Amino acid sequence: MLNILKSLYLHLLILINCAIPSNIAVSAERSFTARNGHALFETEHLVPSLSFNISQYLVDKANLKVVALTFDDGPDPQNDTTILKILADNHLHATFFFIGKKLIGKQALITQLMANGNEIANHSYYHPMMTDISAAVQDSNIQMTNSLLYEAGVAPHWFRPPYGDFDQTTVSIAKQHGLDTVLWTIDSQDWKNTKAEIIIDRVISRIHSGAIILFHSTKPETVKALPHIIATLKHDGYSFVTMSEWRSELKKLPKPSIE
Protein backbone atom coordinates (compact mmCIF):
# COMPACT_ATOMS: atom_id res chain seq x y z
CA MET A 1 0.00 0.00 0.00
CA LEU A 2 2.85 2.39 0.85
CA ASN A 3 4.44 1.91 -2.57
CA ILE A 4 1.10 2.54 -4.31
CA LEU A 5 0.59 5.77 -2.35
CA LYS A 6 4.13 6.85 -3.14
CA SER A 7 3.57 6.24 -6.84
CA LEU A 8 0.33 8.25 -6.78
CA TYR A 9 2.08 11.08 -4.94
CA LEU A 10 4.87 11.26 -7.50
CA HIS A 11 2.39 11.26 -10.38
CA LEU A 12 0.48 14.06 -8.67
CA LEU A 13 3.64 16.15 -8.36
CA ILE A 14 4.30 15.69 -12.07
CA LEU A 15 0.74 16.80 -12.92
CA ILE A 16 1.04 19.85 -10.66
CA ASN A 17 4.32 20.88 -12.27
CA CYS A 18 2.83 20.38 -15.73
CA ALA A 19 0.19 22.94 -14.84
CA ILE A 20 2.73 25.52 -13.71
CA PRO A 21 3.80 27.91 -16.48
CA SER A 22 7.53 28.12 -17.07
CA ASN A 23 9.44 31.34 -17.70
CA ILE A 24 11.76 29.35 -19.96
CA ALA A 25 10.34 28.63 -23.41
CA VAL A 26 10.68 25.15 -24.85
CA SER A 27 13.27 24.66 -27.57
CA ALA A 28 12.38 25.64 -31.10
CA GLU A 29 14.47 22.83 -32.55
CA ARG A 30 15.19 19.25 -31.56
CA SER A 31 18.70 18.20 -30.63
CA PHE A 32 21.02 16.67 -33.23
CA THR A 33 20.44 13.17 -31.83
CA ALA A 34 16.66 13.56 -31.78
CA ARG A 35 16.76 14.66 -35.44
CA ASN A 36 19.37 12.21 -36.73
CA GLY A 37 18.95 9.11 -34.56
CA HIS A 38 22.47 9.13 -33.12
CA ALA A 39 25.08 11.49 -31.72
CA LEU A 40 28.35 12.52 -33.30
CA PHE A 41 31.47 11.57 -31.34
CA GLU A 42 31.76 15.12 -30.06
CA THR A 43 31.25 16.46 -26.55
CA GLU A 44 28.38 18.82 -27.41
CA HIS A 45 26.34 16.04 -29.01
CA LEU A 46 27.32 12.87 -27.13
CA VAL A 47 28.19 13.94 -23.57
CA PRO A 48 27.29 17.64 -23.43
CA SER A 49 27.88 18.04 -19.70
CA LEU A 50 31.49 16.83 -19.67
CA SER A 51 34.09 19.49 -18.96
CA PHE A 52 36.65 18.11 -21.42
CA ASN A 53 36.62 17.81 -25.19
CA ILE A 54 36.37 14.14 -26.18
CA SER A 55 37.54 15.00 -29.70
CA GLN A 56 41.01 15.83 -28.36
CA TYR A 57 41.78 12.18 -27.70
CA LEU A 58 43.10 9.61 -30.18
CA VAL A 59 40.05 7.37 -30.36
CA ASP A 60 40.88 4.45 -32.63
CA LYS A 61 41.13 0.68 -32.46
CA ALA A 62 44.72 0.87 -31.30
CA ASN A 63 43.86 3.04 -28.30
CA LEU A 64 40.23 2.42 -27.37
CA LYS A 65 38.82 -0.87 -28.55
CA VAL A 66 35.88 -0.76 -26.15
CA VAL A 67 32.11 -0.47 -26.52
CA ALA A 68 29.39 0.40 -24.03
CA LEU A 69 26.16 -1.59 -24.18
CA THR A 70 23.27 0.51 -22.88
CA PHE A 71 19.66 -0.51 -22.34
CA ASP A 72 16.82 2.02 -22.08
CA ASP A 73 13.20 1.99 -20.88
CA GLY A 74 13.40 -0.61 -18.10
CA PRO A 75 13.09 -1.99 -15.63
CA ASP A 76 11.59 -4.95 -17.47
CA PRO A 77 11.68 -7.86 -15.00
CA GLN A 78 11.52 -10.60 -17.62
CA ASN A 79 13.87 -9.24 -20.27
CA ASP A 80 16.31 -7.57 -17.87
CA THR A 81 16.72 -10.85 -16.01
CA THR A 82 17.54 -12.64 -19.26
CA ILE A 83 19.92 -9.87 -20.32
CA LEU A 84 21.61 -10.09 -16.92
CA LYS A 85 22.24 -13.81 -17.45
CA ILE A 86 23.68 -13.19 -20.92
CA LEU A 87 25.99 -10.53 -19.52
CA ALA A 88 27.04 -12.69 -16.57
CA ASP A 89 27.71 -15.71 -18.81
CA ASN A 90 30.04 -13.51 -20.86
CA HIS A 91 31.65 -11.86 -17.82
CA LEU A 92 30.79 -8.35 -18.91
CA HIS A 93 28.78 -5.37 -17.69
CA ALA A 94 26.37 -2.84 -19.19
CA THR A 95 24.46 0.30 -18.24
CA PHE A 96 20.68 0.32 -17.73
CA PHE A 97 18.74 3.60 -18.04
CA PHE A 98 15.58 3.18 -16.00
CA ILE A 99 12.28 5.08 -16.15
CA GLY A 100 11.19 6.37 -12.75
CA LYS A 101 7.53 5.38 -12.89
CA LYS A 102 8.57 1.74 -13.48
CA LEU A 103 10.92 1.53 -10.50
CA ILE A 104 8.55 0.93 -7.60
CA GLY A 105 8.50 -2.75 -6.64
CA LYS A 106 11.64 -3.61 -8.65
CA GLN A 107 14.11 -3.64 -5.76
CA ALA A 108 15.14 -7.28 -6.21
CA LEU A 109 15.95 -6.79 -9.89
CA ILE A 110 17.89 -3.59 -9.21
CA THR A 111 19.92 -5.28 -6.48
CA GLN A 112 20.70 -8.21 -8.74
CA LEU A 113 21.84 -5.99 -11.60
CA MET A 114 24.11 -3.97 -9.33
CA ALA A 115 25.52 -7.04 -7.60
CA ASN A 116 26.71 -8.27 -10.99
CA GLY A 117 28.63 -5.07 -11.70
CA ASN A 118 26.16 -3.30 -13.96
CA GLU A 119 25.47 0.42 -13.80
CA ILE A 120 21.98 1.88 -13.37
CA ALA A 121 21.14 5.38 -14.55
CA ASN A 122 18.32 7.90 -14.90
CA HIS A 123 16.01 7.95 -17.95
CA SER A 124 13.41 10.45 -16.63
CA TYR A 125 10.24 9.70 -14.70
CA TYR A 126 7.65 9.30 -17.46
CA HIS A 127 9.72 9.46 -20.70
CA PRO A 128 8.74 12.84 -22.18
CA MET A 129 10.34 14.83 -24.97
CA MET A 130 12.36 17.00 -22.61
CA THR A 131 12.31 20.15 -24.75
CA ASP A 132 8.51 20.01 -24.94
CA ILE A 133 8.14 20.49 -21.20
CA SER A 134 8.96 23.34 -18.84
CA ALA A 135 12.16 23.54 -16.82
CA ALA A 136 10.14 22.73 -13.70
CA VAL A 137 8.76 19.51 -15.19
CA GLN A 138 12.19 18.56 -16.53
CA ASP A 139 13.52 19.00 -13.02
CA SER A 140 10.72 16.88 -11.53
CA ASN A 141 11.35 14.07 -14.01
CA ILE A 142 15.01 13.90 -13.13
CA GLN A 143 14.71 14.54 -9.40
CA MET A 144 11.90 12.03 -8.77
CA THR A 145 13.71 9.27 -10.63
CA ASN A 146 16.91 10.06 -8.76
CA SER A 147 15.05 9.83 -5.45
CA LEU A 148 13.64 6.41 -6.32
CA LEU A 149 17.05 5.19 -7.45
CA TYR A 150 18.72 6.37 -4.25
CA GLU A 151 15.97 4.68 -2.25
CA ALA A 152 16.78 1.46 -4.10
CA GLY A 153 20.46 1.79 -3.21
CA VAL A 154 21.63 3.29 -6.51
CA ALA A 155 23.83 6.39 -6.72
CA PRO A 156 23.29 7.34 -10.37
CA HIS A 157 25.90 9.24 -12.39
CA TRP A 158 24.20 9.53 -15.79
CA PHE A 159 21.04 10.88 -17.36
CA ARG A 160 19.83 9.92 -20.82
CA PRO A 161 17.06 12.13 -22.22
CA PRO A 162 14.22 10.18 -23.86
CA TYR A 163 14.35 10.17 -27.66
CA GLY A 164 17.77 11.86 -27.41
CA ASP A 165 15.92 15.16 -27.03
CA PHE A 166 17.60 17.79 -24.84
CA ASP A 167 18.76 21.38 -24.67
CA GLN A 168 21.11 23.27 -22.40
CA THR A 169 18.37 23.59 -19.79
CA THR A 170 18.12 19.80 -19.64
CA VAL A 171 21.87 19.40 -19.32
CA SER A 172 22.08 22.03 -16.58
CA ILE A 173 19.23 20.54 -14.55
CA ALA A 174 20.71 17.05 -14.77
CA LYS A 175 24.07 18.42 -13.64
CA GLN A 176 22.42 20.09 -10.65
CA HIS A 177 21.30 16.59 -9.63
CA GLY A 178 24.80 15.18 -10.02
CA LEU A 179 24.21 13.61 -13.42
CA ASP A 180 26.13 13.83 -16.68
CA THR A 181 23.98 13.70 -19.80
CA VAL A 182 24.85 11.01 -22.35
CA LEU A 183 23.41 9.98 -25.71
CA TRP A 184 24.57 7.19 -28.07
CA THR A 185 26.59 6.74 -31.25
CA ILE A 186 24.83 3.61 -32.57
CA ASP A 187 21.07 3.15 -32.56
CA SER A 188 20.06 -0.51 -32.87
CA GLN A 189 16.59 0.70 -33.89
CA ASP A 190 15.07 -2.15 -31.92
CA TRP A 191 12.33 0.35 -31.00
CA LYS A 192 10.99 -0.25 -34.52
CA ASN A 193 10.20 -3.82 -33.41
CA THR A 194 12.65 -5.16 -35.97
CA LYS A 195 13.81 -8.77 -36.07
CA ALA A 196 16.96 -9.89 -34.29
CA GLU A 197 18.83 -10.40 -37.58
CA ILE A 198 18.28 -6.75 -38.55
CA ILE A 199 19.37 -5.52 -35.12
CA ILE A 200 22.54 -7.61 -35.37
CA ASP A 201 23.40 -6.33 -38.84
CA ARG A 202 22.71 -2.72 -37.95
CA VAL A 203 24.94 -2.77 -34.86
CA ILE A 204 27.83 -4.79 -36.28
CA SER A 205 27.97 -2.80 -39.51
CA ARG A 206 28.26 0.48 -37.58
CA ILE A 207 30.63 -0.55 -34.81
CA HIS A 208 33.54 1.76 -34.01
CA SER A 209 36.05 2.41 -31.26
CA GLY A 210 34.39 3.83 -28.17
CA ALA A 211 30.87 3.15 -29.46
CA ILE A 212 27.90 3.66 -27.17
CA ILE A 213 25.15 1.33 -28.39
CA LEU A 214 21.48 2.01 -27.73
CA PHE A 215 19.19 -0.94 -27.03
CA HIS A 216 15.81 -1.18 -25.30
CA SER A 217 15.44 -4.00 -22.80
CA THR A 218 11.68 -3.96 -23.38
CA LYS A 219 12.19 -5.55 -26.82
CA PRO A 220 12.36 -9.40 -26.97
CA GLU A 221 14.19 -9.31 -30.31
CA THR A 222 17.01 -7.38 -28.63
CA VAL A 223 17.39 -10.20 -26.15
CA LYS A 224 17.63 -12.66 -29.06
CA ALA A 225 20.20 -10.51 -30.88
CA LEU A 226 22.45 -9.80 -27.89
CA PRO A 227 24.44 -13.09 -27.70
CA HIS A 228 25.43 -12.88 -31.37
CA ILE A 229 26.41 -9.21 -31.09
CA ILE A 230 28.54 -9.91 -28.01
CA ALA A 231 30.21 -12.94 -29.58
CA THR A 232 31.04 -11.06 -32.78
CA LEU A 233 32.49 -8.04 -30.99
CA LYS A 234 34.50 -10.22 -28.59
CA HIS A 235 35.89 -12.14 -31.58
CA ASP A 236 36.92 -8.80 -33.11
CA GLY A 237 38.81 -7.89 -29.95
CA TYR A 238 36.41 -5.45 -28.32
CA SER A 239 35.92 -5.28 -24.57
CA PHE A 240 32.76 -4.03 -22.87
CA VAL A 241 32.43 -1.21 -20.35
CA THR A 242 29.79 0.60 -18.33
CA MET A 243 29.29 4.29 -18.99
CA SER A 244 31.44 5.31 -16.03
CA GLU A 245 34.18 2.95 -17.21
CA TRP A 246 33.81 4.40 -20.72
CA ARG A 247 34.53 7.87 -19.38
CA SER A 248 37.54 6.63 -17.42
CA GLU A 249 38.96 4.78 -20.43
CA LEU A 250 38.52 7.84 -22.62
CA LYS A 251 40.47 10.07 -20.26
CA LYS A 252 43.41 7.65 -20.31
CA LEU A 253 43.89 8.08 -24.06
CA PRO A 254 46.85 9.92 -25.56
CA LYS A 255 46.31 13.26 -27.24
CA PRO A 256 47.59 14.08 -30.70
CA SER A 257 51.03 15.67 -30.69
CA ILE A 258 51.24 19.25 -31.97
CA GLU A 259 53.95 19.65 -34.57
Q: Would you put residue 162 in left (φ > 0), alpha (ψ -120 to 50) or beta?
A: beta
pLDDT band at 62 (very low <50, low <70, confident <90, very high): confident
31 located within any domain = no
**Within a domain: 160:** yes
Q: Is residue 239 part of a domain?
A: yes
**pTM confidence score:** 0.91
Nearest to 151 by CA among 98, 194, 223: 98
Residue 34 covered by a domain: no
Instruction: Say whether pLDDT at 44 is over 90.
Output: yes
pLDDT for 257: 55
Asked whether residue 232 is domain-assigned, the answer is yes
Smallest CA-to-CA distance from 99 within 149, 150, 136 is with 149
- Please report whether residue 41 resides in a domain: no
Residue 145: HSE in the Cβ half-sphere, 13 Å Cα cutoff: 33
Long-range contact list for 162-165, CB < 8 A, 24+ apart? 162/123, 162/124, 162/127, 162/128, 162/129, 162/130, 163/34, 163/129, 164/31, 164/33, 164/34, 164/37, 164/38, 164/39, 165/30, 165/31, 165/33, 165/34, 165/129, 165/130, 165/131, 165/132
Provide the pLDDT for residue 58.
Answer: 77
> Could you tell me the residue range of the domain that residue 171 belongs to?
48-251
Rounded mean pLDDT, 81-108: 97
User: Is residue 8 in a domain?
Assistant: no
Q: How many domains does the chain have?
A: 1
**pLDDT tens per residue across span 158-186:** 999 999 999 999 999 999 999 999 999 99
- Residue 182 lies inside a defined structural domain of this protein: yes
The residues assigned a catalytic role are 72, 216
Which CATH number is 157's domain given?
3.20.20.370
User: In percent, how much of the chain has pLDDT > 90?
Assistant: 80
